[in-house]
Chain A
Amino acid sequence: MGIRFSLAAVVALVLAVFLGIKAAGLTYFFGVCVPYAAILAFVGGVVYKVLKWRRSPVPFRIATTAGQQKSLPWIKQDRLENPVTKKEVVGRMLLEVFLFRSLFRNTKFQMDQGPKLYYQWEKWLWLAGLLFHYAFFIILVRHLRFFTNSLPFFVEPLERLDGFLQVGLPGVYITDALFIVAVTYLFIRRIVIPQMRYMSLPADYFPLLLLLTIGVTGIMTRYFTKVDLLKVKQLAMSLVTFNPIVPEGIGVIFFIHLFLVSILLAYFPFSKLMHAGGVFLSPTRNQPNDSRIVRHINPWNYPVKVHTYAEYEDHFREKMVEAGLPVEKELPAEATTPQAGKE
């Protein structure tokens, strides 16, 4: 049901823009209003969400330790897996954010018959995840071409690297292919593996389908319908300079692409896609394991009812005295039992 719902949602979105452009000619609406609204929703949403997260304090140091702690000087600490200093925490976070360290842990150790040991390659999820995110990132950087007059220095070498296969005209970018492959893998995985299917929600299928459609329409504009890049750049620059003009003659496929990107942006802060921001705030990863070294302060720490020693002694004094345990307050003289000491 989740898949059908998500698919229907994406199809409806595509149809909406198709009809809007073809039948109603709403190029200004889809070319200007929607992107502006989307950017607004994205920025506003992300800021709102991060502020909301940050408003909740971190009462305890609950780092998940994944290696040897800092202890006696002759025991080697695992600095990246069990960080104590800020620098070590940054190191751990870098590994987490750029290399998906935790996901990479997903190796499986295999020892079948005999003493031969080997590791099973169980990292498809890690690989697909990593490829998807990096491909997406590089594609985004490539799009900078549309938004700036003077290209940032790193864009051109990146493009050259990306297109080094030199196949076809215009040259095929590897990241385009990787992006589609990775997203498709992530989608199929959800459908094929029963466990994944069981746990997946519409909110899991929808972004994947959306991304896939964005990828496909993007590729179509570049390789097949050959949209007029100069006009697209004109539109993009006009948006950036807050002087929006929609040039005539941009194909509908481009508008679909742009609209779906807008939807993605607007959807982002209110969905699981916010994991991108959340990972930086995750208390089990971004805290040092130093809670025996430095006292962590809980801002809402409040006094609680405890059973004090005085109450305890009042309750047990007689028995304690009898057993020869030291007490703070002696028993009144007449209360002492005569047969103390024997059971």
Chain B
Amino acid sequence: MSIESILLHKKKLFLQTWLELLLSGYPPETVRLLKKETNQFANPVGHAFSSAMDQVCAEFLQDNDPQKMAPLLDRILRIRAIQEFSPSQSLAFIFSLKRVVRELLKDETAGGQVGGSELAEFESKVDELGLLAFDVYMRCREDLFEVRIKEIKNRTNRLLHRAQIIAEIPERKAEEE
């Protein structure tokens, strides 16, 4: 059996442990809220995390298609990117996946069902996920800076125009008068 299928078998436990890792950076008072509350509107962060992680797990253990994975990671990382975490803290939950898996597969590795090469292969898959996550995370941060710039522009755009600080090539000649 491949590692993926073993994990699929234990998906509930796998997901739960992984989610716990994701949430562990928050104060305990908040972890409770994020875990318990599945209401999409009363608790957007908790809901986004649990539902997106579920899909990330499924995708990762099955097709693992980067095209499909990126938007799933985006749902989690878009939130992490604006919270009080450093970039490394934001992405740590992906790399700690290795530890989770070693822990979950303790029996199987001891029993010889899972070999060292399989484990190494799986771990490089985790690294790939990490790199993808890095791209997604950076995209979010770039978006944030873009939003900031756009807002500053919006705020005074009209004034600059009016003060004729900004010159613009007219698209068509005005015919009036």
Binding site for B on A (CB under 8 A): 108-112, 120, 193-195, 197-198
Contact = CB atoms under 8 A, between A and B. Distances in A.
Contacts of B41: 108-109, 111
Contact of B33 (A108, A111, A195): A195
B161 to A, nearest CB: 13
Which of under 10, 10 to 19, 20 to 34, or 35 or more describes the interface residues of B?
10 to 19
Contacts of A198: 29
B111 interface: no
B40 A111 contact: yes
Q: Which secondary structure characterizes the binding site on chain B?
A: helix
B32 A193 contact: yes
B39 interface: yes
A110 B40 contact: yes
A193 B36 CA distance: 11
B33 A120 contact: no
Interface string B29-54: 11111000011111000000000000
B35 to A, nearest CB: 10
Contact of A194 (B28, B39, B40, B42): B28
A342 to B, nearest CB: 13
A195 B32 contact: yes
B55 to A, nearest CB: 12
B39 A109 contact: yes
Given A112-B40, A195-B30, A198-B29, 14 more contacts: A108-B39, A108-B42, A109-B39, A109-B42, A110-B38, A110-B39, A111-B41, A120-B39, A194-B28, A194-B31, A194-B32, A195-B32, A195-B33, A197-B29
Contacts of A112: 38, 40
Nearest to B40: A111
A294 B1 CA distance: 78
Nearest to A343: B164
A20 to B, nearest CB: 41
A111 B39 CA distance: 8
A292 to B, nearest CB: 31
A120 to B, nearest CB: 6
A183 to B, nearest CB: 23
A194 B28 CA distance: 7
Contacts of B31: 194
Contacts of A194: 28-29, 31-32
Contacts of A111: 40-41
B146 to A, nearest CB: 31
19 contacts: A108-B39, A108-B42, A109-B41, A109-B42, A110-B39, A110-B40, A111-B40, A111-B41, A112-B38, A112-B40, A193-B32, A194-B28, A194-B29, A194-B31, A195-B30, A195-B32, A195-B33, A197-B29, A198-B29
Contacts of B39: 108-110, 120
Contacts of A193: 32
Query: Top 7 closest A-B pairs, CB basis?
Result: A194-B29, A195-B29, A198-B29, A194-B32, A108-B42, A108-B39, A194-B28
